[in-house]
């Protein structure tokens, strides 16, 4: 039985967007209380009754969350322009090698703004 499992993580970080038009408020350094929703999908293990232990998921995701917490995102290689969209794809690329069940990654900067990334497009 195929099932999706969601787990939410939070971190605080600062950033600025260097490519926005002059005078745009996001060109200035500012911070967010980021929420990240990690969505995995797989078959329920018939013996254990779950797709993946939440503790095992945390072992994969928390090192990344800890590396982002209380940082200036622009200082991280690959996040020189840390929009929500680029942060989501960057995080995906960090998690995918050790989390092949990953199917969605949601990144929220505020309670009313969210980006959803579902991985790279399959090759034609």
- Listed in sequence order, the DSSP H helices in the chain are 54-68, 84-95
pLDDT tens across 1-46, in order?
A: 999 999 999 999 999 999 999 999 999 999 999 999 999 999 999 9
The pTM of the full predicted model, rounded to 2 decimals, is 0.94
Nearest to 9 by CA among 105, 78, 97: 105
Domain-located, residue 12: yes
Q: Which domain holds residue 65?
A: 2-117
Q: Which of 6, 24, 30, 70 is catalytic?
A: 70
CATH number of the domain within which 96 lies:
3.30.479.10
Residue 63 has a CB neighbour count (10 Å cut-off) of 13
Q: Which of 26, 41, 104, 115 is catalytic?
A: 26
Domain-located, residue 123: no
Domain-located, residue 31: yes
What is the H or E stretch that residue 36 is in? strand 30-43
Domain-located, residue 94: yes
Query: Does the annotation count 26 as an active-site position?
Result: yes
CA distances from 46 to 38, 51, 65 (A): 23, 9, 31
Domain-located, residue 82: yes
Domain count, the chain: 1
């Amino acid at each position: 039985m195929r099932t999706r499992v969601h787990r939410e993580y939070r971190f605080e970080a600062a950033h600025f967007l260097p490519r926005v038009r002059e005078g745009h408020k996001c060109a200035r350094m500012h911070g967010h209380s980021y929420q990240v929703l990690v969505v995995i999908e797989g078959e329920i293990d018939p013996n254990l009754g779950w797709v993946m232990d939440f503790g095992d998921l945390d072992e994969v995701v928390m090192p990344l969350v800890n590396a982002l917490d209380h940082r200036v995102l622009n200082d991280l290689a690959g996040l020189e322009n840390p929009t929500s969209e680029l942060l989501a794809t960057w995080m995906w690329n960090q998690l995918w090698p050790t989390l092949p069940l990953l199917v969605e990654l949601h990144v929220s900067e505020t309670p009313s703004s969210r980006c959803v990334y579902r991985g790279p497009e399959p090759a034609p």
